């Protein structure tokens, strides 16, 4: 007869196969390689919710007597709905072992968590964030997961059992979700995020050292346009007298010669 530990392993292995082949909408999950009682899940924020597009990572820590007792449920990614890494008081969590049904599986637990997340019901471990705050955190969730909230620059590795804080540099997430972690870093590069802050990098243009010529790029007569623009700017700063100095000089000479002839003809 199989031991309880073996039965538990068989049950969770079967559940992993089931949730892998038929994942619930917006949910993916797997047990840790080092401990089958430690499961990691990712909930993708559903459409028409403030969490849309968010990547919410958390853990389920199952007790030795599972399925006769429920797991401890945590969500590590800041969401504006739950306190990060805090145990959640739900009817499907270890806060209420007597209400747990042994027939419930991992997929049942995570569907229940998603349902509660998209409601406004309050419980231990939940917070009342505004819609704007939740949208803001959803947009930063990939960055938070893969950098540990920006602590990747100085990893402290201070994550406890089932209690990942924003100081582990994203190492735990990377170890459990290597492919998704790579996708997150690629997404951060493409969107030009500052990995220390999660904010978009603002590209600055150096100060101009002179007047702009306003020449359209790609013109077939670019050289001619440059010359015209230079002449226009030069002429704009010159007076009428300066622009017509040759004409004035010629007029003065003509008048001088004319006066000289008249005076010569009038001489005795």
Taking only the tens place, the pLDDT of each residue in 36-56 is 999 999 999 999 999 999 999
Residue 95 in this model has a pLDDT that exceeds 80: yes
Residue 1 pLDDT level (bands cut at 50, 70, 90): very low
**Residue extents of the structural domains in the chain:** 4-190, 222-265
pLDDT recorded at residue 230: 44
* pLDDT at residue 169 greater than cutoff 60: yes
* Average pLDDT taken over every residue of the chain: 83
Structure confidence by residue, pLDDT tens digits, 55-73: 999 999 999 999 999 999 9
Quote the pTM value: 0.73
Mean of pLDDT values over 76-87: 96
Q: Read off the tokens for 129.
A: 């964030």
CA distance 140 to 123: 25
**Given this model, what pLDDT does residue 252 score?**
72
Identify the pLDDT of residue 233. Answer: 53
Question: Which tokens go with 88?
Answer: 């959640």
Where is pLDDT greater, at 178 or 215? Answer: 178
pLDDT at residue 223 is higher than 60: no
CB 60 within 8 A of CB 71: yes
Confidence (pLDDT) at 244: 63
- Give the right CATH number for 4-190 from 3.10.110.10, 3.40.309.10, 3.40.50.300, 3.40.50.2030: 3.10.110.10
**Positions marked catalytic:** 89
pLDDT at 185 over 70: yes
- pLDDT for residue 217: 43
How many Å apart are CA 260 and CA 256, to the nearest integer?
A: 6
pLDDT in tens, 138-168: 999 999 999 999 888 864 544 444 445 556 8
Residue 172 CA to residue 166 CA, distance in Å, equals 11
Mean pLDDT of 104-117: 97
The answer on pLDDT for 177 being more than 60 is: yes
| Per-residue pLDDT at 12 exceeds 50 | yes
Q: Which residue has the tokens 């979700």?
A: 177
Query: pLDDT of 19-32, one tens digit each?
Result: 999 999 999 999 99
């Amino acid at each position: 007869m199989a031991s309880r530990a073996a039965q538990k392993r068989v049950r969770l292995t079967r559940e992993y196969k089931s949730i892998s082949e038929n994942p619930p909408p917006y949910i993916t999950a797997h047990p840790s390689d080092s401990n089958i009682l430690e499961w990691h899940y990712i909930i993708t924020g559903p459409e028409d919710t403030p969490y849309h597009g968010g990547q919410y990572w958390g853990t389920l820590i199952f007790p030795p007597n599972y399925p006769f007792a429920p797991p401890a449920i945590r969500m590590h990614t800041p969401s504006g709905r739950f306190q990060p890494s805090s145990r959640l008081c739900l009817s499907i969590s270890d806060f209420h072992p007597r209400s747990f049904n042994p027939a419930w599986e991992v997929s049942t637990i995570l569907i229940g968590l998603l349902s509660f997340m998209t409601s406004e019901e309050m419980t231990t471990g939940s917070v009342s964030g505004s819609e704007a705050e939740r949208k803001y955190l959803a947009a930063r969730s990939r960055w938070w997961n893969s950098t540990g909230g920006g602590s990747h620059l100085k990893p402290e590795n201070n994550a406890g059992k089932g209690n990942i804080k924003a100081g582990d540099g994203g190492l735990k997430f990377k170890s459990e979700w290597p492919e998704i972690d790579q996708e997150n870093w690629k997404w951060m590069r493409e969107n030009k995020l500052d990995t220390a802050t999660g904010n978009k990098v603002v590209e600055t243009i150096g100060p101009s050292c002179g007047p702009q010529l306003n020449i359209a790029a790609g013109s077939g007569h670019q050289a001619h346009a440059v010359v015209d623009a230079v002449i226009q700017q030069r002429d704009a700063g010159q007076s009428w007298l300066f622009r017509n100095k040759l004409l004035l000089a010629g007029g003065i000479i003509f008048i001088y010669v004319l006066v000289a002839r008249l005076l010569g003809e009038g001489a005795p």
